[in-house]
Homo-oligomer: A and B are copies of this chain.
């Protein structure tokens, strides 16, 4: 076995196959007119030399990189990995690859962005809710389409694919009402996001219109440990709530732990809980949390579709999709 040259070029392949370099190029371009015979010769030569077209050289002439920038969150939420997984493999199906744009909120933002734009990504998928707007401006400046995944940063104009958070909030309120909840609260984290606000608004307005009572909003934290103290305050109140809709499953679990372990409350008898996200822990024996499931697979597919369409058709139409989030009833509601 002879060792193939580390990096064969189309020229090398051409020489070995006895054709011109442009012919080799055509062979690797889908839809070009090449005879079966030369095609086979070229493939054979390419195989011998272990040839792969150089994507950089291609980008230089075609002016598209087939690279999508992926802005991803800096938190450790159990779902994000799956998200990345889905987006990235969906991208691959369409012939694109994903370049990571890590986004640290507390970073000297100016540094990481320019870096990434040296690679001329064809588009950006943003799966982070908490980053600032400079990225959007930067993209606009370079005419790079961006689609927001499962969230929308306020004050930005871009396509997005999200779950219908408002409707989810309404559904939660209806369930509480049907299950006899008298005093409800919306327990949320400290960072306001658009999708979270939607959930809150849907929940509060629906609960009020149904019961004529106001659902209070309590701001704790998206971090389990940091949320604990606020939760203790809530459960110590004289008129303790008997129904809590939580902004995330994570918060819901903090609530359940404190309620059961420190206040000796029974769930759902003394307290009904609904979460949001359907993280893996939601179906654990100890939690069995009623929650909302987002269709991440479809969210991924749709956001990739949008970005690819915008790139290939050079169409800057803003697309905003809102997919239903399904209520999963488990054991924390009656």
Contact = CB atoms under 8 A, between A and B. Distances in A.
Interface of A: 4, 6-7, 50, 52-60, 65, 67, 70, 72-82, 84-85, 88-89, 92, 95, 97-100, 102, 104, 112, 114-120, 141-143, 224-225, 228, 253-254, 257-258, 260-262, 280-281, 283-286
A85 B74 contact: yes
B225 A283 contact: yes
A112 B95 CA distance: 10
Contact of A6 (B54, B143, B224, B228): B143
A255 to B, nearest CB: 11
A53 B116 CA distance: 11
Contact of A54 (B73, B120, B143, B228): B120
Nearest to A286: B257
Nearest to A73: B81
Nearest to A144: B6
A260 B283 CA distance: 16
A327 to B, nearest CB: 20
- What 10 A-B pairs have minimum CB-CB distances, sorted nearest first? A55-B118, A257-B285, A56-B56, A98-B100, A88-B102, A56-B59, A80-B81, A88-B100, A78-B78, A257-B286
A224 B78 CA distance: 14
Contacts of A89: 102, 104
A330 to B, nearest CB: 13
A52 B100 CA distance: 19
